[in-house]
Structures are given as structure tokens and as C-alpha cells.
Amino acid sequence: MSRIRSMAEYEKAHKESMDNQEKFWGDYAEQFTWHKKWDKVYSGDLNKLDYKWFEGAKLNMSENCLDRHLATKGDKTALIFEANDPKEDVKRYTYKELHHEVNKFANVLKDQGVKKGDIVTFYMGMVPELLIGIVACTRIGAIHSVVFGGFSAVALSDRMIDAESKILITNDGSYRGTKIIPLKETADEAVAKCPTVKSVIVCKRTGNDVNMASGRDVWYHDAYNKAADNCAPESMDSEDPLFILYTSGSTGKPKGQVHTTAGYMNWAKFTFENVFQVEENDMYWCTADIGWVTGHTYITYGPLLSGATTIMFEGVPTWPDAGRFWEVCDKHKVTHFYTAPTAIRALQAQGLEHVTKHSLATLKVLGTVGEPINEEAWEWYYKNIGKEKCPIADTWWQTETGGIMISNLAGVTPHKTSFATRPLPGVEPSLVDADGKEIKGNPADGNLCINRHWPGMTRGIWGDMDRFRQTYFTTYPGKYFTGDGAKRDENGLYRITGRVDDVINVSGHRIGTAEVEDALNQHEKVVESAVVGYPHEIKGAGIYAYVICTEKPADINAFKKELAQLVTKLIGPIARPDKIQMSSGLPKTRSGKIMRRILRKVAEGENDKLGDISTLLNPDVVAEIIEGAKKI
């Protein structure tokens, strides 16, 4: 099937994907390189959770990302690396060069004893070796697990232990604006707690002093120089795991979402080319970090599978000044720009002078992802960045979905302020009421579910299928429950309203309230805590923690600082509470359950919307909490 280029084609494609799923995806998959074709396009369902795509086929992901393009696009730029420091030289890799680097890295991994099916953890800055490294894993059939470089040693070791990872790839350090983040130091602390990790490969970036443990640590460039040039792509089964990626849920520790090879590959390419509509000579830039799923699907796999040029940016939006994004857009003649609402709001707050200095004339398409985009930010983005000529693709999806699920197709189906609009072909969304009944007709308001599986859907939680079923399939049996609320307007267009579970979207990053509570509770003076989200001008949602202590701390501010540092140490700076309120108790039901609804309303400042509190075990505490909140 060729690309969708009109509203009529979209409607036809969506209908076909619903009525004849087998033919739709079977036809699409023909374009890839297969060592063996599939026996069946798909099978299984959301009750048994036994769904599979392209069963029986054999293929290799890296071959489809790189080798497949060599004859026609070998000299086309595949990857552009824009460093943190604007004065540093830009690095460019053609498809041929990237192919070479991936082959080399694959051999480095093999030389370190990595085998098909092993899990390789990455804890790196945004440098080319991260992208090259994960694609190299797919060449030899190893499963990558990327841990965002902002996570703490504890968070990193938790993930390596859960995955039983034998090898870690890291940097000496990474640049972030004027700072150097000492990644190797944090990695050492993490590895000390992980008996399964036998080797650590260190890619040099910042040149800061690091400790190299003999017999365990190797420099990447040393290993690279010894490695052979060519590495034959391993023949993988369609349903072999491609990568795992940890993400937060409403309870417990982060879950390793498992994505498999053929289904994800189809989904990554299909969604990338249809949503963004990138043409042969376009310049595509997604500002995400490869530590998140956006960087997996829309910096790495989607663009490479499509033979596009992808830009990788190491720095931050506000250094050397708040015009950095726009400077990079002009420098590389960016045509497609994909970022998060939190970045848009942060830059909006810095004033227009940072924008108007730059031309932005090459831009054709804008994208947004990670959290609901408020109308003001949408309008600002549309007017000042897109100069009212670029469609904004508001792309709703999740780590679990592998790729974009609901979005307008840029310039093909219309956008609408703050609406993700229409489901992609293959996606059958539904809104469900509190009793689990599907709400038919428009307009509608409910919990967002997906009624059938699609190629890019997660295949489960690493090592914990019970939790997988429990988390996503018990609330509304037979449907995948996303955890988001949504509205459908009178024309059936979707607007995502945000999480309805105990997950907070802080700057587009998922933080489970339970994770933050667990961290706070580790402080010896903390008896109990409750964490909720509240509206935050820049971050979308901020973290608000209510804390009960054994005794009143002598210096409240110092104590709050200690708590914030504890959360940073145990999870990372992204989970650091924005507000901490000390309290003598928490509102509870008679069965002892914390009434988060009340805490949420107080944190939001909506004290008149608390509802009936008379049935609480301790109604008096509510007045204390309301009073306390005024002083925060």
C-alpha cells in the first residue's frame, strides 16, 4: 500500500483495516526484507492475550533499517548529530556509514559475549553511539533496554536486576547545557548492586575522569578497533522480543514493556510515514531522548525504516539561550519538527524575541506528544513556530502502544486545536463509562480503551504476565484500557483529557504516584505519604506530596529538602516533588483507604469541589489540609 494522501484515502484505509485486517497488513508488510514470509498475518485476541503478528516469518530489524536502503540511498544522510555545544562540529552519517557503524558495534557486542536473546542495558547521553548501539543489538538478536540518563543509580539497578542484564553500555558523562552529568559514576553505583552484570562498555564523550574496573570495564573505542567490520544479520522470529522499555504504572515498580520484531517494525514505519508525511529531501527532527519510547520509534526505527534523515540532539532547549531549538531548525533546514507540550510552554514563557530572531521558513509540519496540549500552547505553536502554515500533528500514544494511535495525518486529515482527532488505520478506540459499558454515539466522554490488538502493541510485561492482565485487561474485559480519559466531539474526533489512574504526566514523563510515595516512605521520619498531581503551568502536571511524620521536624524547609533529595536519589530528578505539605493525617475512608480524590482537589485549589466528606473516618483532617495547602 502506498502512503495515505487524502481524506478519502484515509477513510478507505481505516475501513479496510477494520473490515479486512489480514489483507491490509499483509499487503503493507510486503515491502520489507524477509528471510521467510509469514504463515499468518495475525492471530489471537485480547481475552486470552495470545495475540501474534506475522507468525512464522523470519527477519532482521537492522537489515530493514539499513541494508534495505543501501542500493538506492547509500549516500543519503541517515543521521545528523547536533551536539550540546552549538560550536561543536555537526556529525553526519550516510546510510552506508551508519550501516558500517552498526556492523562494528554488533561485533563489539559479540566480542563481549553478547548472544541472541540477551538483554543489553543502555544508560547514555544523546550521542550517536546510543542509536547505533540499539540498532546493533537488533542485528545480533539481542534485546535492548534503554534507561533514561536522568534516572538514579537505584532506578538503573532496579531495571538491570529485573531484566537480568549481563552487560551495560554507558558514557563517561553527558553534556546538558553547562553541566556534565557523571553517567559512569552513577553506573558504577548501580552495577555494584547487580550481580548479573559482567561487563560495562564505556563510550567516551565528556572526557571526565572515570574509574575503569579491570576485567569488567572496557572503552568502546578500544573494543571498536579490535572488532571485525562485517556482521551478518541474525534471522529472528517475528515474535522474538526486539526491546524492553520500562515505564511507570499506578502501582509498584516500573514495568518492562516488551515489544517484538515484525509487528513493531510494521507499526513504526506505517505510523511514521503516514502521520508526518516526510518526503525524500525533507529534514526531520524529533527532540525526544532515546531513553523514552518516542526516541525509539520516532528518532530511530520509524525514520530509518522509511529511509529518512533523522536529527539527534544532545542538548537542552534553553542553552545557550531559549532560541536553541529554532536556531537548530534554521541551521539544518528542518522541515518536520516533533516535540512535547512542556517544551512549547517553557519556550513560550521565555518571550517571542527568541523565536523572531530565526526564520523557521523551512518548517512544513509540527508535531506534539507526551501529554495533552492546552489550547494556548497549541495556538502559540501554530502561530509563532508554524507561521499558520504548518499542520500540527497531535499524536496520542504510549510506551505500550509502540507507535502513534490517534492523530491527524499532517496535511492530509485536518487538525483541530488540542484534539488528537482520528484513529490511525488498524486502531479501534472506544470510550467506556464507569460501569464498563461502551458509550456509542457523539459527543461522548469516558475512559479510553482500544478494542482490538494492532501490530505494534506491547506483548506484555517482562517476566510478569499476571500483572499485565491485571493492569490493562481487568477493568474492561476484552479491551485494552489505556489509563487515559478522553472526549469525542460531535464529529467523533478524540480529545485526550489525561490520566484517570494514579499516574502523573510530569513534563510528558510518566511518574507513578506509588513510586514517589515508596521513596518518601523510606525516610525514617515519614510515617505515611500520599502523592497526587496538580496543574503546573510549564510541566503540565506537578508532583504534590502530603507527608505525615513521626514528629514535627525542627526545620521544616530543611526537612522538605531532605525528602526531595531522597526522591532524586531513589528515582531521579524528574520525580522530585514540586510541593510538599506536612500534615497530621490523611483523609481516609472507614475501610482505611486514602481518599486521593480529596487530596487532588485540595492540591488543585478546588476546595469547593470536595464532595461529601461526612462519611470519612477522620473528616476533621480535611480542614487542616485545606489550611495547610494555603501556605504551600
List interacting residues with ligand WT7 (CB under 6 A): 247, 292-294, 369-372, 394-399, 420, 482-484, 496, 498-499, 505, 508, 510
- Shortest separation between residue 182's beta carbon and ligand WT7, angstroms: 26
- Number of other CB atoms surrounding residue 474 within 10 Å: 9
Q: Residue 337, SS3?
A: strand
- Shortest separation between residue 398's beta carbon and ligand WT7, angstroms: 4
Cis peptide preceding 477, ω within 30 of 0: no
C-beta of 430 vs 505, nearer to ligand WT7: 505
- Shortest separation between residue 477's beta carbon and ligand WT7, angstroms: 20
C-beta of 103 vs 145, nearer to ligand WT7: 145
Q: Are 451 and 431 in contact (CB under 8 A)?
A: no
List own/partner pairs for 523-528 with CB under 8 A and 24 or more apart: 523/562, 523/563, 523/566, 524/550, 525/549, 525/550, 525/551, 525/553, 525/559, 526/550, 526/563, 528/586
- Shortest separation between residue 10's beta carbon and ligand WT7, angstroms: 18
C-beta of 250 vs 398, nearer to ligand WT7: 398
User: What does the alpha-carbon distance between residue 592 and residue 370 come to, in Å, rounded to a whole number?
Assistant: 34
C-beta of 17 vs 458, nearer to ligand WT7: 458
C-beta of 139 vs 453, nearer to ligand WT7: 453
**Which residue, 86, 61, 96, is CA-closest to 300?**
61
Q: Are 596 and 530 in contact (CB under 8 A)?
A: yes
- Shortest separation between residue 416's beta carbon and ligand WT7, angstroms: 13
User: What does the alpha-carbon distance between residue 588 and residue 357 come to, in Å, rounded to a whole number?
Assistant: 54
**Which residue, 585, 592, 581, is CA-closest to 622?**
585
- Shortest separation between residue 68's beta carbon and ligand WT7, angstroms: 26
C-beta of 274 vs 505, nearer to ligand WT7: 505
User: Closest-CB residue for ligand WT7?
Assistant: 399
- Shortest separation between residue 234's beta carbon and ligand WT7, angstroms: 28
- Shortest separation between residue 510's beta carbon and ligand WT7, angstroms: 4
C-beta of 348 vs 401, nearer to ligand WT7: 401
Q: Are 430 and 449 in contact (CB under 8 A)?
A: yes
C-beta of 309 vs 418, nearer to ligand WT7: 418
Start-to-end CA span in the chain (Å) = 57
- Number of other CB atoms surrounding residue 352 within 10 Å: 11
List own/partner pairs for 35-44 with CB under 8 A and 24 or more apart: 35/59, 35/60, 35/235, 36/235, 38/238, 38/262, 42/453, 42/455, 44/453
